[in-house]
């Protein structure tokens, strides 16, 4: 069973960038997708985007298009999320997760079945 370990908390200035890493242990992510979700203080879960490592094709949520870059290394054991032009509203806990498929015949159901522990990012001047 894969486990995901994220990098540590960050404090950033407005206008700067942050890069959060997500390392898989126990298995690679070669047969899965890797996604990123954030949660601002007291609020709900917000989908940011994801990547299918073997294809190296990222997909971004509209709200983050142009400001976020999601990558995964060639060995598909570590994923990265970079968010640029930070503002105070980006203060949140950022989660990575493995998106596995359960397939029956031609139908596959994608679900976020393993989560990282979360990385707190604080944006403050």
Within 10 angstroms of residue 109's Cβ, the number of other Cβ atoms is 9
Smallest separation, CB 71 to another protein (Å): 14
Residue 111, interface with another protein (CB under 8 A)? yes
Residue 2, interface with another protein (CB under 8 A)? no
Phi, psi of 32, rounded to the nearest 5 degrees: -130, 170
Residue 46, interface with another protein (CB under 8 A)? yes
55's torsion region: left (phi>0), alpha (psi -120 to 50) or beta? Answer: alpha
The answer for residues whose C-beta is within 8 angstroms of residue 74's C-beta and 6 or more apart is none
Exactly one of 8, 26, 41, 62 binds another protein (CB under 8 A); that residue is: 62
* Under 8 Å between Cβ of 30 and 98: no
Residue 120, interface with another protein (CB under 8 A)? no
Binding positions for another protein, rule: CB under 8 A: 33, 35, 37, 44-47, 49-52, 59, 61-62, 95, 97, 99, 102, 109-113, 115-118
């Amino acid at each position: 069973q894969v486990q995901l370990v994220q990098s540590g908390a960050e404090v950033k200035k407005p206008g700067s960038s942050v890069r959060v890493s997500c390392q898989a242990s126990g298995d690679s992510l070669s047969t899965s997708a890797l996604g990123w979700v954030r949660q601002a203080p007291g609020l709900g879960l917000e989908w940011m985007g994801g990547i299918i490592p073997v294809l190296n094709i990222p997909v971004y949520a509209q709200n983050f298009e142009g400001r976020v870059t999601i990558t995964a290394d060639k060995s598909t054991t570590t994923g990265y999320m970079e968010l640029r032009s930070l503002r105070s509203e980006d203060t949140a806990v950022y989660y990575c997760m493995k998106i596995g498929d359960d397939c029956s015949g031609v139908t596959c159901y994608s679900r976020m079945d393993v989560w990282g522990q979360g990385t707190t990012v604080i944006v403050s001047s």
